[in-house]
Amino acid sequence: MDGAGDAARLGHDLGTAVRGESLAQPFSDAVSEATMEPGVRILNIADEHTYDNDGKPQTKIRVTFKVNDHGPFIEYFDKATYDSYAVENKIDDFARGVKRLAPPA
């Protein structure tokens, strides 16, 4: 698949997430399905503005994904410490757990 096709499949359009939400990192730093556990499909990566327990605004990165036919699942990551490798590792660990519980047919 070409670069533009990969961007569309990952739910981004070279710096913009699905539904016009801003992408957490530049496209080159985004999560890549190519290096992840087989069967993981990223549906959306977006900023989500929330408040902490003290009422201070914070921004989280919301990653929506599927594992084979299961999901969608959502994981949240702190934008201030966002690291695409840590995201991929956490989602890969989750995906392996799903596959152990519900192996593909």
Domain locations in the chain as residue ranges: 3-101
Q: What is the pLDDT of residue 30?
A: 62
Write the single-letter amino acid at 2: D
Find out whether 76 and 61 touch, Cβ atoms under 8 Å: yes
| 52-27-73 Cα angle (round to 5) | 50
Decide which of 68 and 6 is more confident.
68
17-59: per-residue pLDDT in tens? 333 344 444 433 567 666 788 889 999 999 999 898 999 999 9
pTM of the model: 0.66
Q: How far is CA 53 from the centre of its chain?
A: 25
